[in-house]
Amino acid sequence: MAEIKSTLDIIMEKAKKFSVTEEEKKAFKRRELEGKVKGLIQKYLDGLVDMERLKEDVEVLRKDEAEDLDHLFRQEAVDRVQPGQINTPLLEILSSVAGMDTGPVKKLLDDFDSRMEHERTKQEEVLREELRQKGISGSAVIPNLYADEDWRKVLSEISQTFKEALKSLA
């Protein structure tokens, strides 16, 4: 009588045919390390660990996974930097954990704020002039920038330029 195979036996037979290459193993390990870095940063941002504990956790991780750890921390922290937001904790991670000079990042943030203010003022004036031409004027008239398609395009362009410049620092 023919032997009846269990589902597990069938799966195990098929699994023998597959093998994981060294490249795939490295990719799995890299993704796992990226997940750990994201988790550590999120714990710090959530206030679950302080900087000293974060540094301790990073040192433990560094013993096992020394390869590219600083780069991963720089990359993840830089990806999370948002203009107009409080970025102090991320700048602390960049400085204290990843060993990065945060001066250029701060300068980019300041430049972004300055450019945004300049463009905002310019676009508000354009909108005020359009309203004046329609007979709408006065001190209480405040143009709605976010309803203006041109402003959204300018905002998108400035944000994209900022993100590209920021990524080049990581």
- Model pLDDT, residue 132: 92
Tens of pLDDT, residues 102-140? 999 999 999 999 999 999 999 999 999 999 999 988 888
Above 70 in pLDDT, residue 1?
no
Closest CA to 37 of 81, 5, 3, 68: 68
Closest CA to 118 of 155, 148, 150: 155
Query: Is pTM, for the whole model, over 0.85?
Result: no
Tens of pLDDT, residues 29-80? 888 889 999 999 999 999 999 999 999 999 988 887 666 788 899 999 999 9
Buried b (16+ CB within 10 A) or exposed e, 134-150: eeeeeeeeebebeebee
- Across the range 84-110, mean pLDDT stands at 92
- Model pLDDT, residue 114: 94
